[in-house]
Amino acid sequence: MGTWNTVQSRANVPSSITELAASQRASNARRITATLTLLGAVGTLVSLAFGAPMKVDVVLILATAGKGVAYWLVLRRRTHLGVACALFFLLVEHVGVVAVHGQLGPVPYIAPIVLLLAAATLQARWLVHAFALTIAAQVTELLLSPMARQDQIDVVTACLITVAVFVVSLLHVRGIERAFSLAEARDRARADADAVARQSEQRYRLIADNTDDLIGLLDSEGRALYLSPSHQRLLGVDPAQNLGRQPHEFLSIDNLERARAAFRQTLKAGEARVEIQLSEQHGKGRVFDSVMKRIASDAEVLVVVASRDVTERRLLQERLLASERLESLGRLAGSVAHDFNNLLTVIGCGAELARSAAEGVPAATREIDTVLSAAESASKLTRQLLSFSKKQLLVRSELDLSTALEEQREILQRMVGKDITLECDFEKELPAVNMPRPQLEQLTMNLAVNARDAMPQGGRLKLGLRKRTLEQAEGDAPLPGDYVELSVSDSGCGIPEEVLPKLFEPLFTTKGDAGTGLGLATCKSIVTQLGGSISVSTSTGVGTTFTVLLPASKGSPASTATDEQRTSVHRVLVVDDEHSVLETTARMLRSAGYDVIEAATFADAKRILNNQSISLDAMITDVVLSGDRGTDLLQYCREQRPQARVVVMSGYTPDPGAAQRLVSFRARFLPKPFGREQLLAALLGGANGAKQVDGRAHP
């Protein structure tokens, strides 16, 4: 556009119809005044040469000088004044000649020429003025000349010629003015349209230049005709240097064939959509959702490509899918946990009874111990899966982390191997934490395994405990307060920076087929359920430290059984709708010397409780009883047998809030699977058995 303006100014080309008309009037005025001046000068020379009267020569000289002034005015861009001056002196010349000679002669026939000259200015108002001056001049000439017969004929003829010339000139000039008006209106409309188009183009360019989307215009061969500045901001690609090149020539596209197929489809069908992933060279493997549309211009077929960075959205989708998979896994685990733990209870209890019967037979004892070990491993796996779904009823107890970790130290040393030195640095007089011991073991073992894998050539693993007081929320810790900080540090290879954001994601692993992706995710789940936080600090080649904050307990440890709870128990009602569990539990209690009454349904148990002639000292019931009616049975038991001891057993509780409902029933919780020792301890309320569910004990 700038080049066109330069050429236009150099060529003196008018930019509008109005300027064109003005330019044409000025040009005509120059020609008119120059011609009149030249003719006046020639006429004056002829008059002087042939000896015309002195008065005629004076009139001609004055008229020629006046025409020269008119020409000078026109050259000075005083067009209107110059033309008026030229017409005036032309008429003065005619009148003067008539006044000197005393007769009209051919003058009336020359007078209409004035109208033609005025018409050349292309303005009707000048034509009207010239017509009026011409008529006035002719009237003056008639007054100055005797009215002979021939003069009358000349006057009439001159008037007719003047009127005819005026009408024709007026129609001509009006037509030209109308054409100019229409052309000017068209130019104004076109200029307005161009202004709107330029404004729209500026707006679209502002959008294209400032959007974070990648906007490109390609020809039918895929060569770039336009690239938005966002290419420079997002990918470091200079748009100006890559015009005329195909995108794959300046972008490393991992799935190039899919992009080319989408481009061909756009040329054929008019539109296509494709996700394009760039290589690590551009934007760390960013993913763009590209929409291609074909547009037809006057010259060729073009393709507009709009690409939006959806890398974060893809990551969120992947996390959502992983979360959904995990949730599905949790639902699956929750749906089978009760039945699975029932089977494990039967297997474990049956194996213990068999072990007692096989006492003194080493071979049989070893095989039974193998079965018990497998049942315990299966139980741990179930608890790990349930920790994700948060559908396990965990009974917390006051736990001294220093003592618990010292007892676990030997196991951890065997697990990490002899090439790794295990060190412990524990502060003294640490507050207790309110958490289940199995959860602590699972937490520390997962972190120790992770550290072991980071030190394949051996190294140092350090466990630390100290008290922390948070004045304000820190990390994932939701509330200020007192915490016990557990740190697990290794001297391994460290964790790459790009792995850190995904470190605690379920099913994410860097160990290939050797990893499950559940270890650190399980740690995160356990700590979160306990109201704490877990964080990591690492340095490549130096080592990694996992820091766990666990809320310090605000109450005293759960008290052991009271004297009332330690009263003797003789007759026990066992309620479970799973026949194998019911039978196995009853056999185990009978082997311990208890009188057992069995009930397989809620109605049977209710009938026994309602029969006051049957003495009962305790009741053991499953919490998921015929549609979660175990709590209804507890309430009925408290109403009918308020002094009876109550133990609730379950493989899992669909509603973790059931822990609060058990508080009012003064019930003890016995998680499945359990063994003979846990069953008897729960029944008697001993310190090694299940804990009483109270206000501090919850999942």
For 250-254, 259-263, 610-614, which range has the lowest pLDDT when averaged over its residues? 250-254
Is residue 45 pLDDT above 80, yes or no? yes
Q: Where are the alpha helices (DSSP H) in 102-228?
A: 107-110, 112-119, 124-144, 149-210
Instruction: Note the pLDDT tens digit of each residue in 123-136.
Output: 666 667 666 766 66
Q: How many CB atoms lie within 10 A of CB 195?
A: 10
In which region does residue 557 sit, left (phi positive, over 0), alpha (psi from -120 to 50) or beta (all else)?
A: beta
Is residue 56 pLDDT above 80, yes or no? no
For the chain, domain boundaries: 11-186, 212-309, 314-389, 398-551, 571-684
Rounded distance between C-alpha atoms, residue 663 and residue 392, angstroms: 17
Task: Report the b/e string of 285-319 with b at 16+ CB within 10 A.
Answer: ebbbbbbbebeeeeeeebbebbbebbbeeeeeeee
Is residue 61 pLDDT above 80, yes or no? yes
- 479 vs 622: which has the higher pLDDT: 622
Considering 293-297, 527-531, 574-578, the range whose residues carry the highest mean pLDDT is: 574-578
For the domain 571-684, what is the CATH code?
3.40.50.2300
Place of tokens 């804990």: 691
Is residue 600 pLDDT above 60, yes or no? yes
For 158-172, 442-456, 507-521, which range has the lowest pLDDT when averaged over its residues? 507-521
Is residue 54 pLDDT above 70, yes or no? yes
Q: Which CATH class is domain 398-551?
A: alpha beta
Length of the chain: 699
| Nearest partner of 694 among 320, 345, 397, judged by Cα | 397
Q: Which residues are bridge partners to 573 per DSSP?
A: 597, 619
Pairing of strands 459-470, 645-650: unpaired
Rounded distance between C-alpha atoms, residue 69 and residue 89, angstroms: 10
Report the pLDDT averaged over residues 395-404: 78
How does residue 598 score in pLDDT terms, banded at 50, 70 and 90? Answer: very high
For the domain 212-309, what is the CATH code?
3.30.450.20
What pLDDT was estimated at residue 661?
Answer: 62
What pLDDT was estimated at residue 199?
Answer: 82
What pLDDT was estimated at residue 530?
Answer: 80
Provide the 8-state DSSP code for 688.
T
For 30-34, 176-180, 451-455, which range has the lowest pLDDT when averaged over its residues? 176-180
Instruction: For Cα atoms 218, 258, 204, give the angle at the middle one, nearest 5 degrees.
Output: 30
Instruction: For Cα atoms 254, 285, 514, give the angle at the middle one, nearest 5 degrees.
Output: 95
Using CB atoms within 10 A of its CB, is residue 497 exposed (0-12), middle (13-18) or buried (19+)? exposed
For 68-82, 374-388, 402-416, which range has the lowest pLDDT when averaged over its residues? 374-388
Report the pLDDT averaged over residues 590-611: 89
Rounded distance between C-alpha atoms, residue 652 and residue 654, angstroms: 6
Instruction: Note the pLDDT tens digit of each residue in 481-496.
Output: 888 999 999 988 888 8
Instruction: Note the pLDDT tens digit of each residue in 615-655.
Output: 888 999 887 766 556 677 888 888 888 888 888 887 765 45
Is residue 408 pLDDT above 80, yes or no? yes
What pLDDT was estimated at residue 240?
Answer: 83
Domain formed by 314-389, architecture = Orthogonal Bundle (1.10)
Report the pLDDT averaged over residues 347-372: 80
Tokens matching residue 403 = 């003592």
CB 623 within 8 A of CB 658: yes
- 237 vs 155: which has the higher pLDDT: 237
What pLDDT was estimated at residue 46?
Answer: 77
| Nearest partner of 251 among 279, 274, 275, judged by Cα | 279
**What mean pLDDT, rounded, does the chain reach?**
75
What pLDDT was estimated at residue 123?
Answer: 64
How does residue 680 score in pLDDT terms, banded at 50, 70 and 90? Answer: confident
What pLDDT was estimated at residue 202?
Answer: 77
- 148 vs 156: which has the higher pLDDT: 156
Q: What string of DSSP letters covers 417-472?
A: -TTEEEEEEE-SSPPPEE--HHHHHHHHHHHHHHHHHT-TT-EEEEEEEEEEEESS
CB 550 within 8 A of CB 527: yes
Instruction: Note the pLDDT tens digit of each residue in 507-541.
Output: 666 665 555 556 677 788 778 878 888 888 888 77
* Those residues with Cβ within 8 angstroms of residue 503's Cβ, 6 or more apart along the chain or in another chain: 495, 520, 536
Pairing of strands 571-575, 481-490: unpaired
* Those residues with Cβ within 8 angstroms of residue 305's Cβ, 6 or more apart along the chain or in another chain: 214, 215, 216, 217, 218, 247, 290, 291, 292
Place of tokens 């995904």: 502
Give percent above pLDDT 70 in the chain.
70
Rounded distance between C-alpha atoms, residue 506 and residue 551, angstroms: 24
* Stated pTM of the model: 0.44
